[in-house]
Amino acid sequence: MSIHVEHVTKRFGTFTVLNDVNLQVGAGELVALLGPSGCGKTTLLRILAGLERPDQGRIFLHGAEVTDQRITERRVGFVFQHYALFRHMTVAENVAFGLTVQPRAQRPSTARIQEKVRELLTLVQLQAMADRYPSQLSGGQRQRVALARALAVEPKLLLLDEPFGALDAKVRKELRRWLRRLHDELHITSILVTHDQEEALEAAHRVVVMHQGNIEQVGTPDEVYENPATPFVYQFLGDVNVFHGRIAHDRYEDKEADERAHADADGSDHREVTFVRPHDLELSLNRTTPTQLEATVKFIITAGARVQVELASKESSEIIAVELTKERYRELKLQQGDVVFVHPRQLQVFKVPGPG
Amino acid sequence: MNTVTVATDRDAEWKDSLTTERSFVRRLLIAGAFLYLTIFLFVPLVAIFAEAFKHGLSGYVDSFLNEDALGAIRLTLLVAAVAVPLNALFGVAAAWAIAKFDFVGKQILITLIDMPLAVSPVISGLIYVLLFGAQGWLGPWLAEHDIKILFALPGIVLATIFVTVPFVARELIPLMQSQGREEEEAAVTLGASGWQMFTRVTLPNIKWSLLYGVILCNARAMGEFGAVSVVSGHIRGLTNTMPLHVEILYNEYNAASAFGVASLLTLLAIVTLSAKALIERKTVSAKSQR
């Protein structure tokens, strides 16, 4: 089922949560809505489910307008962050719920319902838990039950609201991969809301980065990570070093050296900001080119898959974060206080409004 | 080889002494509490039954096996049978609205629900006299249409409803607020109709608190004196509830009969408390499964 969001705006009181949002999702896609708290991603998801109504705009599911359609008619599966399992029903009863509330004419037979529940519990690998109560399950198990319950009514659209947010890191990683595999098997159009960029980049076909009610960028995980469209996307999707200066004529000039403001074609001021990822910075012990930045090693963290080095730039008071592979770190034999020379392998310059 | 230190009894005792009061203090406090309860609860309770049986078993039974007393018992039961279900319905509806929605006037509603608890029962009754009495706002209209509210069953029922409004609502509101509305939202996204959602998701989650609220509501409905006294007219056999009947008997120096009827109300209290204790145990065991 394809989704078409057209000019959707939503306000709570004076606060604009969604600001003229437009989005297209193709049938069978797994799309992640990624952004910090308060960016509007959950509200957008709930509007798609019918749990909220937009103040302006229209929603189309599979070509048909559903803006005013009741929740019960939308055939949407919703998975909540805190599972929302029916606490007084067993796991099997929870999963069967969507089928048992159908009007008599459409409702499958009891035997068929039981069969379906068995199938779904097998799909989520919880057959043994059918007669347990939600309070007797772990968080990860509960979320799988919630997913099975949502799938029971064969929804055309699956909406997941930070489904792994309440789980610990390891379980989150496992379930994330499991969800992607499940999606590859079932091909239900799915939208996943998350604030965890790793989750979005790993699980989704396409990522929609949101900020303060606006969509900043839509693209594949590679696209948004390698070619971020705005400073926000760049900063949100990973660590970043911000240099308030610009690379001019293959030479890095920092803020003090280049304080001239630039005028845009429309006369408004802007300045240029350079973004570099920590792992795109190269370190050497001797100056090899005039474009390198001189810095002193302040802090080294070796625990973990890579080595994090914190440098203090010589020219400005900026702190530079560098990520090195263990091999490179051993090659350099870095120690606190060493003087090193920094050169970016890859960088991105953004025009930011405002004087220099 | 590992050595393991085992906590000795002395260690446990020492730890205990840091956080619990000395046993002498403990015993003193418990004795004090019991003394208080004895003076203000046990002695009066025992006195009720002692006085009631002053003329022996037959005297006891006579006190409520007469026309007037039976009328009072019937009226009490009837009033409760009307007031309690209505307040239960209202309580569920109000708690539902307050817990799951935001709307203008929510705080006012909550305050209004609490009001009968703050107002003196006599004033509660007086409200209805001012409304429906002969000199009241609606008095002339009612007289014209020959409708009797005051000094008749309707008035008594209204006054009882007023004083028992808070019980179910106040029991349910915090519970439903803490339960949130996610389960209901889940039910609706799965295709449940409003009624299905209410009966299959909401009600089972609140059933013990609802029952508790109903029991409290019932106890108060049957035992209400002040408000009912003002609106009742004290017509023997017709507009006297049990509490009112007890008053009449006592004022006639018929203490034994008064206590006899009062003992029935005491039995009601004991049944209410037992039910409450049972329900509390159920709620605790339900919570421990969470």
The more confident residue out of A214 and A268 is: A214
* Confidence at residue B114, expressed as pLDDT on a 0 to 100 scale: 93
Q: Using one digit for the tens of pLDDT, what is the confidence trace for A104-140?
A: 888 889 999 999 999 999 988 999 999 999 999 999 9
Residue A60's identity, in one-letter code, is F
- Judging contacts by C-beta atoms under 8 Å, the chain B residues touching residue A50 are 189
Distance of CA B122 to the CA centre of its chain: 18
Q: What is the residue-averaged pLDDT of chain A?
A: 86
Task: Name residue, tokens 């008594």.
Answer: B156
Are A86 and B201 within 8 A, CB to CB? yes
pLDDT of res. A267: 53
Is the pTM higher than 0.90? The answer reads no
* Residues in A touching B196 (Cβ below 8 Å): 101
Condensed to tens digits (0 to 9), the pLDDT of residues A234-280 reads: 888 888 888 776 544 444 555 443 434 444 445 556 777 888 888 88
Q: Does B175 touch chain A (CB under 8 A)?
A: no
Residue A82: closest CA among chain B residues belongs to which residue?
B182
Residue with tokens 């090193």: A340
| Cα–chain center distance at B287 | 23
| pLDDT for position A269 | 65
Answer yes or no: do A98 and B201 touch at CB < 8 A: no
DSSP assigned state of B66? S
Of A229-238, B81-90, B181-190, B276-285, where does mean pLDDT reach its minimum? B276-285
CB-CB neighbors (< 8 A) of A72 in chain B: 188, 191-193
Dihedral of the alpha carbons of B268, B269, B272, B277, in degrees to the nearest 10: -140
Give A261: exposed, middle or buried? Use CB within 10 Å, 0-12, 13-18, 19+: exposed
Asked if A71's CB is within 8 angstroms of B189's CB, the reply is yes
Residue in A with minimal Cα distance to B204: A88
- Tokens 């802007």 belong to residue: A270
Q: A354: helix, coil or strand?
A: coil
Residue in B closest to A134 by C-alpha: B290
Q: With an 8 Å Cβ cutoff, are B190 and A153 in contact?
A: yes
Q: Determine contact: B191 vs chain A, CB below 8 A.
A: yes
Contact list in A for residue B186 (CB cut-off 8 A) is 78, 80, 84-86, 146, 149
Task: Note whether A86 contacts B187, CB cutoff 8 Å.
Answer: yes
Q: Tell me the pLDDT tens digit for each residue of A44-65.
A: 999 999 999 999 999 998 888 8
**Which structure tokens are listed for B190?**
């799965």
Asked which of A44-58, A145-159, A335-349, B157-171 is least confident by mean pLDDT, the reply is A335-349
- Distance in Å, alpha carbon of B186 to nearest chain A alpha carbon: 7
Looking at residue B243, its pLDDT comes to 92
Q: How far apart are CA A110 and CA A96, in angstroms?
A: 10
DSSP codes joined into one string, A45-63:
HHHHHTSS--SEEEEEETT
Extract the tokens encoding A301. Answer: 């963290």
ipTM score of complex: 0.81
Gyration radius of chain B's alpha carbons: 25
pLDDT at A291: 76
Number of Cβ within a 10 Å radius of residue A149: 30
Torsion of CA A106, A109, A110, A113, to 10 degrees: -70
Which among A72, A80, A87 has the least Cβ separation from residue B188?
Answer: A72
Residue type, B207: K
Cβ-nearest to B191 among A72, A80, A87: A72
pLDDT at A17 over 50: yes
Which residues of chain B neighbour A80 with C-beta distances below 8 Å? 182, 185-186
In the predicted structure, residue B14 carries a pLDDT above the cut 90:
no
Question: What's residue A44's pLDDT?
Answer: 94
Rounded to whole angstroms, the Cα distance separating A332 from A86 reads: 58
pLDDT grade, residue B86 (50/70/90)? Answer: very high
B203 touches chain A (CB under 8 A): no
Q: Which residue of chain B is at minimal alpha-carbon distance from A107?
A: B191
What is the distance in angstroms between the Cα of A79 and the nearest Cα belonging to chain B?
A: 8
Q: At B258, phi and psi to the nearest 5?
A: -60, -50
Least confident segment among A80-89, A243-252, B160-169 = A243-252
The model's pLDDT over A28-42, given as tens digits with 9 standing for 90+, comes to 999 999 999 888 999
d(CA B53, CA B63): 10
* Cα distance between residue A198 and residue B222, in whole Å: 63
Mean pLDDT value of segment A179-203: 91
Query: Is the confidence at residue A290, as pLDDT, over 80?
Result: no
A102-116 as b/e: b if 16+ CB within 10 A: beeeeeeeeeebeeb
Q: Which of A86, A98, A136 sits opposite B183 (nearest CB)?
A: A86
Q: Which residues of B touch A98 (CB under 8 A)?
A: 190-191
One-letter amino acid at A102 equals Q
Question: Residue B261, class by beta-carbon neighbours within 10 Å (0-12 exposed, 13-18 middle, 19+ buried)?
Answer: buried
CA distances from B27 to B14, B22, B33, B42 (A): 19, 9, 10, 20
The answer to whether B283 faces chain A, any CB pair under 8 Å, is: no
| pLDDT at position A328 over 50 | yes
Alpha carbons A9 and A184: distance in angstroms, whole number: 32
Q: Which two tokens stand for residue B130?
A: 């001012």
Mutate to test the interface with A, among B184, B190, B203 (most CBs of A within 10 A): B190
Q: Which residues have C-beta within 8 Å of that of residue B207, sequence separation ≥ 6?
A: none
Task: Work out the average pLDDT over A281-288.
Answer: 86
User: How far away is chain B from the Cα of A237, in angstroms, using its nearest Cα?
Assistant: 30
Looking at residue B287, what is its pLDDT?
A: 59
User: In this complex, is the C-beta atom of B193 within 8 Å of any C-beta atom belonging to chain A?
Assistant: yes
pLDDT at A257: 39
Kindly determine whether residue B200 and residue A150, on different chains, have CB atoms separated by under 8 Å.
no
pLDDT tens track for A304-319: 889 999 988 887 777 8
> In B200-241, which residue ranges form alpha helices assigned H by DSSP?
203-223, 226-232
Q: In what order do the strands lie in the sheet with A206-211?
A: A76-79, A157-161, A189-194, A30-34, A206-211, A214-219
The answer on pLDDT for A287 being more than 70 is yes
CB-based burial label for B253 (10 Å; 0-12, 13-18, 19+):
exposed
Tell if the CB–CB gap between A102 and B191 is shorter than 8 Å.
Answer: yes
Residues of chain A contacting B200 with CB distance shorter than 8 Å? 86, 97, 101
- How far, in Å, are A90, A263, A356, B201 from residue A107 at the CA level? 20, 67, 67, 19
Q: Which pLDDT does position A231 carry in this prediction?
A: 87
Min Cα–Cα distance to chain A from B264, Å: 38
Mean pLDDT of B141-158: 87
Distance from CA of A136 to the nearest CA of B (A): 7
Summarize the confidence of residues B77-88 as an average pLDDT.
Answer: 94
Q: Chain A residues with CB-CB distance to B under 8 A?
A: 49-51, 71-72, 74-78, 80, 82, 84-88, 97-98, 101-102, 133, 135-136, 146, 149-150, 152-153
* Residues on chain A touching B193 (C-beta within 8 angstroms): 72, 101
Q: Retrieve residue A102's tokens.
A: 């159908």
Please give the order of strands across the beta sheet that includes A319-324: A281-284, A339-344, A293-301, A307-313, A319-324
- The overall average pLDDT reported for chain B is 87
What residues in A contact B204, CB-CB < 8 Å? 88
pLDDT of res. A245: 60
What residues in B contact A75, CB-CB < 8 Å?
Answer: 191
* Cα-based distances in Å from A74 to A61, A83, A244, A282: 9, 20, 49, 53
Q: pLDDT at residue B227 above 70? A: yes
* Identity of the residue in A76, A102, A133 whose CB atom sits nearest the CB atom of B189: A76
Is A71 close to B183, i.e. CB distance below 8 A? no
Most B CBs within 10 A among A66, A72, A76, A149, hence the mutation to make, goes to A72
Relative to beta strand A157-161, strand A76-79 is parallel
User: Residue A78: closest CA among chain B residues belongs to which residue?
Assistant: B189
* Interface contacts A/B by beta carbons within 8 Å: 64
**Lowest-confidence region among B83-87, B161-165, B224-228, B235-239:** B235-239
